[in-house]
Each structure stands twice: as C-alpha cells, then as structure tokens.
C-alpha cells in the first residue's frame, strides 16, 4: 500500500467514525496512534456493513428494504468480506480497511463472518423467543466486535476475550433498549417473545403510543440485564495497556449512561433519540480513567457462571494454532 492510499484509507475510516458514532470517536482518541488506526479501520468496516443491510447512512435514517434487496446486499457483503479475509484484491475502502486489520492482528474469517451472521438474522426477519436467543443475536452483532477490537489491542487470552465480548453484549442490550420504537417502525423486534406475551404487546404494535408503559418496562428490564455484563467487562481492563483500558472503560461508561437515561426517562424515552451530552462524555472520560487505574490494584473475580457464554470453539482453535506457529518459529 502506497503512503497516499494508506492516508486515504485512514481518512475514509475517520470520516466514517466521525459521522457514525460520536461516542466511539471520542473514546478512540485515547488509543495510541497505531492501535487507534486499526480500531478505526475495523469500525469503518462494521459501520459500512450495518449501513448496507439497513439501507441507511452512518447509522441513521434506515429504510425498509425488500427481502430480495436485503438478500442481495448480504451476499455482496459476504463475497467482499471473504475476499478481504483471504487477501484477495478489494476496491471498496471499507473492505480494504478490514483486510489491513486481518493482516496486522489475526482477526479471523470466522469472527468477521459471525458479524455477518447477525445481519443475516436481520435479513431473514428472525424473532427471538427467549432472552437467551436475544443474547445470541447480541453476540453476532456486538459481542464478536468486542472480540475483534480486543485482538486489535493485542489480546489472545480466552478469559480476557470473554470480558471483551461481555462489553459488546452489554452495549447491544443498551442499544436494543434505546431503539425499541425506532426498530419497530422499520419492522424489527429484538425483544423476547416471552416478554411480549407477558406484557400483552404484539411485536407489530411496539411503536403504538398506547403501549409506551409496557415498552418502558421491557426496556428497563433490558438495561438491568446489561449491568452484570458491564461489570464483568471491567474485570478485563487490567489485561489491557493503560491507554486501551482507558478507551474501553470510557466507551462502556458512555453506553452505561445511555442505559441509565432509559431507566429514568420511562415512557418519555422515545420522544427523541437518547444520547450523552458533551459534559456527560467528559464525565465518562474521567470515570473511565479511574476505572482503568483502579482495576490494576486488586485481584479480579472469576467471571460469573450465570452469564451468557460466547461460542468459543472457533476462537480457541485459532489461538491454539497461533501458539503452535509461534513455537515453531
């Protein structure tokens, strides 16, 4: 890659993060330059795939695609992702970004395709019967992103990867809680069918203002479910370089504050999109630094056995080969 194309690739990724996620953009500034580059490149690919499947721009203004359109878009993403992971020529900046991250940090094809599997569930209009099934979806669209981001930060230990996955799960539960009504307006529902039956709300009626009280109760329940995963993620901070730990803790703090707003807003949570203010982001920055420092000072508890466990076979297999290759060298 020439210096000019190297710079253009980063510029594309920087633009993607600036318009797509102010929260992640703010947290990513805490990384060292090399880690930040890779994190931003990975984000650009994730953002691009999400936008393509949702027919949106930078995470906003989603439109309803026909099933055929969605399937065609997913197939294109799969082909381009496969090419990027295999080191074949790619022309779209988002896939060139993924290719660089794969080459530099050993992100696997299985991990990249796990994210696409989450989008495939969206395309097929999956409905989730239980919270456990919702957690499986959260893994595909966010938990595995935590795994890939951890690899960018140099993590290989399974226990630390578990904690990175937990942060992704917590963030996605928060996203679902905040976006229940917006998702319903484009025909999507990520709430367990058992909860909908309990509150007697049809999935297709979640956007109806008459159901706001029930929607608020289910959203608050999701936020409560996220809390143990945020707590578990904090226990992995000590294994990260300090600047990485600060960035990760800050991102977690920003999302946790959004969840707290959902809890406090009640039925008013869907009058506008909940987000954090600049002052709140500064507070998250300071809290993140405190967490990153203090987590280094004491022994961390084992991960609670009752938390949802990510699928580990493919990841463990990859790490075993990485260790064997290193030993051979």
Per-residue pLDDT tens for 77-121?
999 999 999 999 999 999 999 999 999 999 999 999 999 999 999
Dist. CA 262–CA 125, nearest whole Å: 26
Residue 327 has pLDDT above 50, yes or no: no
pLDDT tens per residue, range 134-150: 999 999 999 999 999 99
Q: 44-48, 239-243, 261-265, 320-324: lowest mean pLDDT where?
A: 320-324
Residue 292 has pLDDT above 50, yes or no: yes
* Residue with the two structure tokens 């290719």: 99
pLDDT of residue 20: 59
Quick one: three-class SS letters along the chain?
CCHHHHHHHHHHHHHHHHHHCHHHHHHHCCCCHHHHHHHHHHHHHHHHHHHHHHCCECCECCCCCCHHHHHHHHHHHHHHHHHHHHCCCCCCHHHHHHHHHHHHHCCCHHHHHHHHHHHHHHHCCCCCCCHHHHHHHHHHHHHHHHHHHHHHCCCCCHHHHHHHHHHHHHHHHHHHHHCHHHHHHCCCCCCCHHHHHHHCCCHHHCCCHHHHHHHHHHHHHHHHHHHHHHHHHHCCHHHCCHHHHHHHHHHHHHHHHHHHHHHHHHHHHHCCCCCCCHHHHHHHHHHHHHHHHHCCCCCCCCCCCCCCCCCCHHHHHHHHHHHHHHHHC
pLDDT band at 301 (very low <50, low <70, confident <90, very high): confident
pLDDT of residue 114: 97
Average pLDDT of the segment spanning 192-207: 97
pLDDT of residue 230: 97
pLDDT tens per residue, range 146-178: 999 999 999 999 999 999 999 999 999 999 999
Residue 65 has pLDDT above 80, yes or no: no
Residue 224 has pLDDT above 90, yes or no: yes
Dist. CA 119–CA 147, nearest whole Å: 17
**116 phi and psi, to 5 degrees?**
-65, -30
Dist. CA 73–CA 71, nearest whole Å: 5
Average pLDDT of the segment spanning 212-226: 97
pLDDT of residue 325: 38
pTM for this structure? 0.89
Dist. CA 257–CA 263, nearest whole Å: 10
pLDDT of residue 61: 56
CA dihedral defined by 214, 219, 220, 223, rounded to 10 degrees? 170
pLDDT of residue 132: 97
In the chain, the domains with their CATH numbers are 1-107 (no CATH), 127-308 (1.10.600.10)
Q: Which two tokens stand for residue 44?
A: 């650009």
């Amino acid at each position: 890659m020439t210096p000019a194309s190297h710079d253009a690739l980063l510029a594309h990724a920087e633009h993607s993060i600036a318009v797509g996620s102010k929260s992640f953009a703010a947290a990513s500034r805490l990384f060292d330059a090399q880690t930040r580059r890779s994190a931003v490149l990975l984000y650009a690919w994730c953002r691009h795939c999400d936008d393509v499947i949702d027919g949106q721009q930078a995470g906003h203004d989603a439109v309803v695609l026909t099933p055929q359109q969605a399937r065609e878009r997913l197939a294109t993403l799969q082909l381009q992702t496969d090419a990027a992971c295999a080191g074949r020529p790619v022309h779209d900046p988002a896939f060139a970004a993924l290719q660089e991250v794969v080459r530099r940090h050993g992100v696997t094809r299985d991990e990249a395709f796990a994210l696409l599997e989450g989008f495939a569930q969206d395309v097929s209009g999956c409905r989730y019967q239980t919270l456990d099934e919702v957690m499986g979806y959260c893994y595909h669209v966010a938990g595995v992103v935590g795994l890939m981001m951890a690899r960018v930060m140099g993590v290989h230990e399974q226990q630390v990867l578990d904690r990175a996955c937990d942060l992704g799960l917590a963030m996605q539960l928060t996203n679902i809680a905040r976006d229940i009504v917006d998702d319903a307006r484009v025909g999507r529902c990520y709430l367990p069918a058992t909860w909908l039956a309990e509150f007697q709300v049809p999935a297709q009626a979640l956007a109806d203002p008459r159901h706001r009280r029930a929607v608020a109760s289910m959203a608050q329940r999701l936020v409560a479910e996220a809390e143990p995963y945020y707590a578990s993620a904090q226990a992995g901070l000590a294994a990260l370089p300090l600047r990485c730990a600060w960035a990760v803790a800050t991102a977690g703090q920003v999302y946790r504050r959004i969840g707290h707003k959902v809890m406090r807003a009640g039925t008013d949570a869907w009058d506008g999109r909940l987000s954090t203010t600049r002052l709140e982001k500064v507070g998250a920055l300071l809290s993140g630094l405190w967490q990153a420092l203090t987590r280094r000072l004491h022994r961390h508890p084992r991960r609670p056995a009752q938390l949802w466990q990510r699928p580990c076979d493919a990841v463990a297999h990859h790490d075993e080969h990485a260790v064997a290759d290193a030993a051979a060298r």
